[in-house]
Amino acid sequence: MDRRRFLWNSLLTAATAASPIPAFAQAKSSPSLSRQLARWVAGLRFEDLPAPVVDRAKGVTLQALASVLVGSQMKPGREAVNLISEEEAGVRNGATIMVNGTRATKGGAAFANSEMALAGGKWDTFRMLTHPGTGIIPAACVAAETVGASGKDFLTGVVAGYEVMERMAADFIPTIMARGFHSGPVFGIFGCAVAAAKILRFTEDQITDTIGLCVNLAGGNLESAALREGAAVRNAMLAVALAKQGHRGRETALEGDAGFYYAYVGNNKGQLTYSFTGDTQTSLDKITRNLGQDWMFLETLYRIYSISGYNIAHIDVTAKLCEESNIRYQDVDRVEAVVNWLETLYPSPAFPTRREATGEVKAGSTRYYTAYGVVKRGFPMLEGTPDPPEVLELMKRVTIIPSHQMTLFGPRISIFTKDGKVYTKQGTGREFIWDFNEEARRIRGVIPGIPIPAAQFEAIIATCRDLDRESQAAQLVQLTIKKA
Confidence of residue 17 (pLDDT cuts 50, 70, 90): very low
pLDDT digits (tens, 9 = 90+) for 293-320: 999 999 999 999 999 999 999 999 999 9
Burial class of residue 60, CB neighbours in 10 A (0-12, 13-18, 19+): buried
In this structure, CATH architecture of domain 310-426: 2-Layer Sandwich (3.30)
| pLDDT over 70, % of the chain | 94
- Beta strands at 345-346 and 332-340: parallel, antiparallel or unpaired: unpaired
Least reliable range by pLDDT among 20-29, 170-179, 243-252, 370-379 = 20-29
Q: Per-residue pLDDT for 24 more than 90?
A: no
Pick the CATH number of 31-302 from 1.10.150.20, 3.40.50.720, 2.40.170.20, 1.10.4100.10: 1.10.4100.10
Instruction: Compute the distance between CA of residue 28 and CA of residue 259 in angstroms, rounded to an integer.
Output: 16
Q: What is the CA angle 312-314-319, rounded to 5?
A: 105
Res 29 pLDDT > 90: no
- For the cut 50, the answer to whether the pLDDT of residue 26 exceeds it is no
Whether pLDDT at 356 is above 70: yes
For residue 99, the Cα-to-chain-centroid distance in whole angstroms is: 22
Cβ atoms of 69 and 450 within 8 Å: the answer is yes
pLDDT at residue 73, as a whole number: 96
Distance (Å, whole) CA 48 – CA 142: 24
- For the segment 406-422, what is each residue's pLDDT rounded down to a tens digit? 999 999 999 999 999 99
Categorize the per-residue pLDDT at 11 as very low, low, confident or very high, splitting at 50, 70 and 90.
very low
pLDDT of residue 160: 98
Domain ranges of the chain: 31-302, 310-426
pLDDT in tens, 444-460: 999 999 999 999 999 99
pLDDT at 19 over 80: no
| Count of CB atoms situated within 10 Å of the CB of 263 | 14
What's the pTM?
Answer: 0.92
Check if the beta carbon of residue 124 is closer than 8 Å to that of residue 61.
Answer: no
Rounded distance between C-alpha atoms, residue 390 and residue 397, angstroms = 11
Say if residue 43's pLDDT is above 80.
yes
Radius of gyration of the chain (CA): 24
Cβ(412)–Cβ(424) below 8 Å: yes
Q: Compute the mean pLDDT over every residue in the chain, rounded to the nearest whole number.
A: 93
For residues 90-115, give the mean pLDDT.
95
pLDDT score of 361 more than 70: yes
Lowest pLDDT segment from 4-18, 239-253, 362-376: 4-18
pLDDT, mean of residues 241-269: 97
Residue 482 confidence (pLDDT): 84
- Same CATH fold assignment for domains 31-302 and 310-426: no
Q: Cα angle vertex 289, ends 288, 293, to 5°?
A: 105
Distances (CA, A) of 446 to 117, 125, 458: 13, 18, 12
If phi > 0 it is left, if psi is from -120 to 50 it is alpha, else beta; for residue 292 that is: left
Closest CA to 98 of 54, 145, 60: 145
| pLDDT given at position 20 | 45
Stretch 208-230: mean pLDDT: 93
The single-letter DSSP state of residue 221 is: B
What is the pLDDT averaged over residues 130-143? 98
Whether 292 contacts 368, CB under 8 Å: no
